[in-house]
């Protein structure tokens, strides 16, 4: 997939990468929607790939199917390596884009709430976001980059191109655990890596036997959700330097950076974590990041309190959704990309996302940021992971419901978790329900809140219990 990030655009084609966890039905849908002409499949996913092609043929016997090419770790029956081996040597016939706004890549959103949408990246945007990403977290010349972010996710935050641009070395893993991460860092002298907070969590909670000393500072770009303070402290103590970025598939991945001021190094740890949890400012290739009232399109005041919607405009906003003009127009209403993320702007100008619009919990008329509640639960020593969603309630409208995974061998009761939160948050923000179980995840390590929201909804109202117990 790394090589195809170069070969496909150089052939004048558009790269469309699929999530490796998709099933045949989804792959079949995406093949059809994208109009793929060539379908490269790794041998370990060949069953899904073939089943997807069969579905496609069954659904429309007259349609031309994409050509299937296999990629394999074995030497036999590997179409891709054969093609490469038998290709003519230089000079290549590079097909340059006619316009820099020609598409380079098609990235389908994860589709947690609706059918996946095909986000079109163009050459200009990909070039600029590659540069911005490289600059945002100090990828200096000749880096060694460890891949934990899938390349099918926003083209791996553009870093197949970015690492090449800086003459770097790619360390690719098929699967990873904390042990594999520490081993790879030590063996290859890794200087940079990406990682969702769940990856940081994995590192922070690695048993001592799985750890190895770092060969030097390792810069980690994290995003997807703000790093919880406890995880941040733990990984920074190990020698990782955490850069917090924020963005969406629609912004080629990274769009803002929590620019770190040197004077903040001297602040107490909790204060540093609070500052680093903010999403910050647009990077150097994005024209504008703003927090706006979607009704009036006015910017919210920089008071750290007024909530608005994060919006973007500039070269690193997608060309649009493929074959979906209505969704494109809706998302770009007023000339700004509407992210659906709710945020405030602090007096120093830094943007802080409070929640996804659909994740906010409205209890007794008060907005509760699920992220803030999760952050507190997370700081409980027995907690490995936590997610908070709305549970419908006859009296309050909604109440916070926490799903918690405890660390191996640790224990905590529902009452303990609730009491812990009430000691640290306004009482109305503390969860009224705590469920202990494993959290459902997307392939990029994000918690699938829509699954939890369905569960919480199925529990029904808590009103009577709530009014007596709390």
**One character per residue 276-315, x = contact with a copy of itself (rule: CB under 8 A):** --------x-------------------------------
Name residue 220's beta-bridge partners: 193, 242
Instruction: Indicate the SS3 state at residue 292.
Output: strand
Q: Which is nearer to a copy of itself, 112 or 140 (CB)?
A: 140
Q: Is 428 in the site for a copy of itself (CB under 8 A)?
A: no
Tell me the closest approach of the beta carbon of residue 131 to a copy of itself, in angstroms.
6
Q: Which is nearer to a copy of itself, 265 or 408 (CB)?
A: 265
C-beta separation of 257 from 219 below 8 A = no
- 313 is written with which tokens? 């405009």
What does the DSSP assignment read for 91-151?
SP-----SSTTSEEEEEE---SSSS--EEEEEHHHHHHHHHHHHHHTT--SS-EEE--S-T
Q: Which is nearer to a copy of itself, 56 or 258 (CB)?
A: 258
How many residues can be counted in the chain? 470
Binding residues for a copy of itself restricted to 138-197, rule: CB under 8 A: 138, 140-142, 165-167
Torsion of CA 204, 205, 207, 209, to 10 degrees: -20
Per-residue burial over 215-253, b = 16 or more CB atoms within 10 Å of its CB, e = otherwise = eeebbbbbbbbbbbbbbbbbbbeeebebbbbbbbbbbbb
Q: What does the alpha-carbon distance between residue 285 and residue 316 come to, in Å, rounded to a whole number?
A: 7
Tell me the closest approach of the beta carbon of residue 262 to a copy of itself, in angstroms.
6
Which one of residues 31, 134, 225, 390 is an interface residue with a copy of itself (CB under 8 A)? 134
Tell me the closest approach of the beta carbon of residue 128 to a copy of itself, in angstroms.
9
Binding residues for a copy of itself restricted to 380-409, rule: CB under 8 A: none
Tell me the closest approach of the beta carbon of residue 284 to a copy of itself, in angstroms.
6
Q: What does the alpha-carbon distance between residue 420 and residue 43 come to, in Å, rounded to a whole number?
A: 49
Q: Which is nearer to a copy of itself, 107 or 144 (CB)?
A: 144
Q: Is 259 in the site for a copy of itself (CB under 8 A)?
A: yes
Residue with tokens 């993320």: 341
Q: Is 232 in the site for a copy of itself (CB under 8 A)?
A: no
Tell me the closest approach of the beta carbon of residue 3 to a copy of itself, in angstroms.
20
Tell me the closest approach of the beta carbon of residue 269 to a copy of itself, in angstroms.
21
Q: Which is nearer to a copy of itself, 56 or 190 (CB)?
A: 190
Short-list 429, 370, 425, 381, CA closest to 403: 370
Q: Which is nearer to a copy of itself, 168 or 400 (CB)?
A: 168
Q: What does the alpha-carbon distance between residue 261 and residue 273 come to, in Å, rounded to a whole number?
A: 13
Total residues in contact with a copy of itself, by rule CB under 8 A: 15
Q: Which is nearer to a copy of itself, 142 or 465 (CB)?
A: 142
Task: Give the other-Cβ count within 10 Å of 102's Cβ.
Answer: 16
Q: Which is nearer to a copy of itself, 83 or 142 (CB)?
A: 142
Task: Give the other-Cβ count within 10 Å of 336's Cβ.
Answer: 21
Q: What does the alpha-carbon distance between residue 118 and residue 17 come to, in Å, rounded to a whole number?
A: 11
Q: Which is nearer to a copy of itself, 138 or 437 (CB)?
A: 138
Pinpoint the alpha helices (H) of 35-78: 46-59
Tell me the closest approach of the beta carbon of residue 126 to a copy of itself, in angstroms.
13
Tell me the closest approach of the beta carbon of residue 124 to a copy of itself, in angstroms.
11
Which one of residues 98, 261, 266, 458 is an interface residue with a copy of itself (CB under 8 A)? 261
Tell me the closest approach of the beta carbon of residue 132 to a copy of itself, in angstroms.
9
- 225 is written with which tokens? 């959700």
What does the DSSP assignment read for 339-380?
EEEEEEE-TTS-EEEEEETTT-EEETTEEE-HHHHHHHHHTS
Which one of residues 61, 91, 207, 262 is an interface residue with a copy of itself (CB under 8 A)? 262
Q: What does the alpha-carbon distance between residue 19 and residue 162 come to, in Å, rounded to a whole number?
A: 21
C-beta separation of 351 from 339 below 8 A = no
Considering only 245-253, 257-265, 326-334, 442-450, which stretch makes contact with a copy of itself by CB under 8 A? 257-265
Q: Which is nearer to a copy of itself, 94 or 326 (CB)?
A: 94
Q: Which is nearer to a copy of itself, 25 or 142 (CB)?
A: 142
Tell me the closest approach of the beta carbon of residue 375 to a copy of itself, in angstroms.
26
Longest dimension (CA), the chain: 78
Q: What does the alpha-carbon distance between residue 33 and residue 16 come to, in Å, rounded to a whole number?
A: 11
Instruction: Indicate the SS3 state at residue 412.
Output: coil
Considering only 41-49, 131-139, 346-354, 411-419, which stretch makes contact with a copy of itself by CB under 8 A? 131-139
Considering only 28-36, 135-143, 295-303, 412-420, which stretch makes contact with a copy of itself by CB under 8 A? 135-143
Give the interface with a copy of itself as residue ranges (CB under 8 A).
131, 134-135, 138, 140-142, 165-167, 259-262, 284
């Amino acid at each position: 997939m790394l090589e195809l990030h170069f070969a496909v655009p150089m052939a004048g084609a558009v790269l469309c990468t699929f999530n490796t966890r998709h099933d045949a039905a989804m792959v079949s849908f995406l093949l059809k929607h994208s109009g793929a002409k060539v379908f490269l499949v790794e041998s370990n996913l060949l069953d899904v790939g073939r089943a997807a092609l069969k579905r496609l043929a069954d659904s429309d016997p007259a349609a031309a199917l994409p050509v299937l090419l296999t990629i394999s770790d074995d030497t036999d029956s590997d179409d891709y390596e054969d093609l490469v081996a038998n290709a003519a040597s230089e000079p290549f016939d590079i097909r340059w884009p006619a316009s820099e706004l020609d598409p380079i890549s098609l990235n389908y959103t994860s589709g947690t709430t609706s059918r996946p949408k095909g986000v079109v990246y163009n050459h200009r945007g990909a070039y600029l976001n590659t540069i911005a990403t490289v600059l945002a977290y100090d990828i200096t010349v000749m880096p060694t980059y460890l891949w934990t972010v899938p390349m099918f996710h926003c083209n791996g935050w553009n870093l197949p191109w970015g690492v090449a641009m800086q003459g770097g070395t790619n360390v690719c893993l098929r699967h990873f655990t904390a042990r594999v991460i520490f081993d790879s860092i030590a063996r290859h002298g890794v200087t940079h890596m990406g990682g969702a907070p769940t990856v940081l969590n994995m590192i922070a909670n690695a048993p001592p036997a799985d750890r190895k000393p770092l060969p030097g500072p390792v810069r980690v770009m994290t995003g997807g959700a703000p790093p919880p303070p406890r995880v941040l402290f733990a990984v920074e103590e190990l020698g990782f330097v955490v850069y917090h970025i924020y963005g969406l598939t629609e912004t080629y991945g990274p769009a803002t950076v929590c620019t770190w001021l040197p004077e903040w190094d001297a602040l107490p740890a909790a204060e540093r974590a609070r500052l680093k949890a903010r999403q910050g400012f647009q990077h150097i290739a994005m024209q504008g990041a703003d927090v706006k009232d979607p009704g009036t399109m006015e910017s919210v005041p920089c008071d750290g309190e007024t909530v608005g919607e994060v919006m973007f405009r500039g070269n690193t906003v997608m060309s649009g959704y493929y074959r979906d003009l209505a969704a494109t127009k809706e998302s770009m209403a007023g000339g700004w990309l509407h992210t659906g993320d709710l945020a405030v702007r602090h007096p120093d100008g830094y943007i802080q996302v409070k929640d996804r619009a659909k994740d906010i919990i409205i209890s007794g008329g008060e907005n509760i940021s699920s992220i803030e509640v999760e952050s507190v639960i997370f700081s409980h020593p027995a907690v490995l992971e936590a997610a908070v969603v709305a549970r419908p309630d006859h009296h309050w409208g909604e109440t916070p419901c926490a799903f918690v995974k405890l660390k191996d061998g640790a224990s905590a009761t529902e009452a303990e978790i609730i009491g812990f939160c009430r000691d640290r948050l306004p009482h109305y923000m503390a969860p009224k329900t705590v469920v202990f179980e494993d959290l459902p995840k997307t392939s990029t390590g994000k918690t699938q809140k829509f699954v939890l929201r369905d569960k919480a909804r199925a529990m029904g109202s808590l009103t009577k219990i709530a009014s007596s117990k709390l």
